[in-house]
A and B are shown apart, each in its own frame.
Chain A
């Protein structure tokens, strides 16, 4: 997996703790909610510490890639309101049902609206990646006569995506509630 699409890259190579975490915190403050930051660091201690810091602050630690001596961390800025799962789009489907239908060989149109880095670190096989922010510009990839299942991490971004699709004339759309957090079926990881 090389050159994942991210919103900003922070170079902390050669810096020892606490600097990778201090810089990450400061840089993330300047990003918008939902944007993904890649942090490059050479300090091995950054691995456990960035994960610990993200867990504590509620930001999403998406994943880690190692190339040579460099650790590439992917962190997504999380808005505290996202954690509340304020679902308002009425048509939903559970992860269990999606899993069952896939296992019966049904061809589903699954759209994963998370960021590309999140998608790369694990998604439902066959899902199409369109980050929620790009959806408006990429509607030509989706045929309004088809049925769609929209997926994100927790069910919040997919809820927003479903509302947007409904406005645009898509009427056979379901939000997968609880998102990938609740998914225990097969996942595909991009290498």
Chain B
């Protein structure tokens, strides 16, 4: 008897299916709670959940539910159980069976680099899409220098691009103190001897040295001056700061997303910050040029992904279509951003403390803290 072959599918390959809106059938074999909480989603993706421990005796119940002519990806938490189930499916004669390399842990950590634009002075702007968690980060490269904004905990993808471009990292910025993921900012700044910039009002309790992000004090990347202009835009956190790059791009952090707006409750001060959030969205951003391309720090739904995987939208268009920018009554706005919010992200308080330098969990714990979906928007898609 020949051993049936099953093939690993990498997070990068799964990303191709999602961006290309191609059909992929997922058999998720994690336990029901884990699946309900968080799963791989995409316009061409159909998924079902049968925990692997229900398939130990016979694979038949799963086999019956698989579509006949379509690749099937088996997914679990870390890889082992999906490989186990995929092999049983293949043994039972099922063709076109794959399992997810690294499981949902690997999925949570994968970053897809997307080039957003060439900048006016010859520089480049990249967006890194963290598919599994909906986090977005950015790199600006110009004349051998680079800046990274809202870095993820995993820094390999940035280091790879820096090496490919022969660039040296000179600045690292976070738009705000993150509550949903652990920032790679400190790690990167230390490794490249770069300056780490944080909004001072979010950084009052941090235990390490940083440079204050202040309006009017622009950051320059490269000799030709790619100007990064900080604008104070409180609301998601009291320090939240946006950046305008090259007069074209508005990095909005967790204030404004493509299909939603930021939630003000993750630092425990929802009621206090409602007014700030409204002022930022309905007054400060309104004064900015409509042609700016909004590049947020998150997306919540695969429908926000553009054709090459980018997450971006023109400010003027968002003012027409984003429901969060159409709540004219102040009281209704207050209710929208403070009541019936999606559950708060896993371990968000410990994540905030880690980003302040107050907790130093080991890598496995950090990974565990980040598991699950992103929930920084008021609308849960």
A-to-B contact residues, CB < 8 Å: 16-19, 21-22, 25, 44-45, 48-49, 52-53, 56
Contacts and interface: CB of A to CB of B under 8 A. Distances in A.
A16 B84 CA distance: 12
A12 to B, nearest CB: 12
A56 B54 contact: yes
17 contacts: A16-B79, A16-B80, A17-B77, A17-B80, A18-B53, A18-B81, A18-B84, A21-B53, A21-B56, A22-B84, A45-B78, A49-B51, A49-B53, A52-B51, A53-B53, A56-B51, A56-B53
B31 A48 contact: yes
A18 B79 CA distance: 9
Contacts of B32: 52
A25 B80 contact: no
Contact of B56 (A16, A22, A44, A45): A22
A56 B32 CA distance: 12
Given A19-B80, A22-B56, 11 more contacts: A16-B78, A16-B80, A17-B76, A17-B78, A17-B80, A17-B81, A45-B78, A48-B33, A52-B31, A52-B32, A53-B54
B368 interface: yes
A83 B41 CA distance: 40
9 tightest CB-CB pairs across the interface, nearest first?
A: A53-B53, A18-B81, A48-B31, A16-B80, A52-B31, A17-B81, A21-B53, A18-B84, A45-B77
Interface residues of B, number: 17
Given A25-B56, A49-B53, A18 B31 contact: no
A136 to B, nearest CB: 36
B34 interface: yes
A17 B56 contact: no
Main secondary structure of the interface of B (DSSP, over half): helix
Contacts of B52: 17-18, 21, 49
B100 to A, nearest CB: 14
B80 A18 contact: yes
B50 to A, nearest CB: 11
Q: Count chain B CB atoms within 10 A of each CB in A17, A25, A53 and give the residue with the most.
A: A17
A45 B31 CA distance: 9
Contacts of B81: 17-18
Contacts of A19: 80
Nearest to B368: A44
Contacts of A44: 368
